[in-house]
Structure 1
């Protein structure tokens, strides 16, 4: 059982991203920018290779929150600042050695930093979210305002 008290740590989440995930996200979002699927284009704009969609990375932060709360409708607000790209190597499961374990590992953690009571008596919390790739933060000022159970 999760305690929804100030200072509570959210259960951490680790997500493995591969190129297939980027294709699926592009199809769902309609974002077919070639930096998310073409190495030559990514290289031409000085990226470290094909990178995950920023909004996909942001969505993973939202998943951390909704997994914790159990109710996507409890998210009242969510904001991030994109600070660093997440490169996703071109590895294919069944073709490249270690393809199932290599790739972009995204580590997400969160902390309930404040709890207040709204005028209607509901409890509202502010959650700071940390999203890291390769030990480095990829989203800055990432936080959500949520309705607590």
Structure 2
């Protein structure tokens, strides 16, 4: 335990504030998405990631990595999105072991319909509390942290 660099008071306070902020922000955005679009924030994120991919299509493994989801969690979510006709799963032509997830036109329409309320909520709960300078600082801080984190999925 002697080799542990314990957090000092400022670091601990910053860490606890980060934990509380991300939990509350995620909760507020999820409640908004459930209320206004009838889907969890995680499903909105899947639709958004597919909408930005070429041909609105990603391998399931890539979608899991992008969303930091386990294979089983992403599979369950995509199955639910298929039931809504928002996503279509199909085998990958050049890799028989892979499955592709493709955003349908119906799914794209659901994403487009949900986006304005989501953006308003992000603005209300995050960016309206910050000055332009603070937005830049936040971007720089999060970029610095993100750049040193390992890639890959979480369980």
TM-score, with length taken from structure 1: 0.25
Higher relative contact order (CA 8 A, sep 6+): 1
Which has the larger share of helix? 2
Which has the larger share of strand? 1
Q: Considering only CA atoms, is the larger Rg found in Structure 1 or Structure 2?
A: 2
TM-score, with length taken from structure 2: 0.24
